[in-house]
Structure formats: C-alpha cells, structure tokens
Amino acid sequence: MAGSALASPAVASTASGVRQDPRTTVVPAASDTRESVIRAVVFAYDAIFSRPGVLHAGAEDFIRSCAERFPLLLTAHGSYADSRHSLAALGLAPLFLEVLCEAEVERREPAPDLLVATLGRIGFLLRDRNPLEPPECLVVDCAPAGIEAARRAHMRSLAIAHSVPAAALKSADFVRDSLVAIDLDEILRGCA
C-alpha cells in the first residue's frame, strides 16, 4: 500500500478488538483513511488501445495504478481472443480479471447491457459476499456511447478525449484529455 508505515507499538488491536503483532500491523497513510466508493474499474478497449497492441500514451501507468487497488475488467467491441491477445502481448493480461465483448450481450452501447454483464461477471469471479453496486464501478471510456452506457448503468465514468472533443463527453463524471498523468486519488476523491 502506498504511503503505508509500520504501526507504532501503541496500535495493538484492530477495530474488532483482535490483537495483532504491532511489528507487522500496517497503518494506512492519512490519504488512505477515507474509504473510496469505487471497488472496480472497467476499461473500454478503445480507451486504452490506439490500435491493436498499441496503448495510448499514459495507459499502461494508469492501468497499473488502478490494478494495485481494484479488480479490472476490459470491455471490447471486437473479439475476446483479439482483446486478450492485445493485453497479453503487452504483459497486461494478468492485471485484468476478464474481458467481455459486445457479442455476449443483446444490445450494443449506448444500452448498458455490456456494463451490466460486467457487473455480474465481477460478482461471479470475486464471489464477494458484499455484492458490487453499479456506482462502485468506474468506467474508463473514450466514446460518447460508452459514457452514456455508464450513465444508464448508474456507474461512474471517466471519459478520455482521445478521439472526440471533450465537449462530446461532458455527461461523464470526469473528463480528461488523455491518460497521461491522471491523478487516480483525485478521481477517487471526486467519487466519494
């Protein structure tokens, strides 16, 4: 955990009263004490790839930053195999729980079907007893239809203005010109 430090000997129990060895207890940094409402990040293929096998500038750093804190999924208009291959070629496949493609759902974006399926897949893969709610997902997309799908699915959205003007993405919760130097903590504070 970034900014973590070993706890002082004075911190000897958790909130539940379970005693822990103070030499191994990790205390979150001050910036980590406020719990984020985001629990998963869903990337649209076109938001991170400029063409098959080639990432947009800043994409790898942002993906890795998100993967340190959240489960990741990828949605794609193309085939599952091609999408998985693009991730694997860049060493990013292990960071993504799953790839979901539009062929798996009945209606295309801006219908929320693909994102709703993504939510179900996250729940199935993680087998979390505390189901993920739509507002706990951050969708990273670069297309107006994808941002509208996120809105219809009641998910948070980060629009990247790679291929369309930022004004066309204004319905997103956050709009950035590129993935270069996005401050993930700033986005998460805006979601809280």
Cβ atoms within 10 Å, residue 118: 27
Assigned architecture for domain 37-191? 3-Layer(aba) Sandwich (3.40)
pLDDT average, residue stretch 20-31: 36
> 137-153 pLDDT, tens per residue?
999 999 999 999 999 99
Q: Provide φ and ψ at 191, rounded to 5°.
A: -85, -20
Helix axes 113-126, 144-152, angle to 10 degrees: 60
Query: Rounded to two decimals, what is the model's pTM?
Result: 0.80
Find the Cα–Cα–Cα–Cα dihedral 174, 175, 178, 180, rounded to 10°: -30
Q: Kindly tell me if the per-residue pLDDT of 35 is higher than 90.
A: no
Q: Report domain extents, the chain.
A: 1-33, 37-191
Q: Provide φ and ψ at 129, rounded to 5°.
A: -75, -15
Q: Kindly tell me if the per-residue pLDDT of 17 is higher than 60.
A: no
CA 10/CA 135 separation, integer angstroms: 37
82: tokens are 């091609």
pLDDT average, residue stretch 73-90: 95
192: tokens are 């809280």
Confidence of residue 36 (pLDDT cuts 50, 70, 90): low
> 91-122 pLDDT, tens per residue?
999 999 999 999 999 999 999 999 999 999 98
Local structure of 178: helix, strand or coil: coil
Helix (H) or strand (E) run with residue 50 in it:
strand 49-51
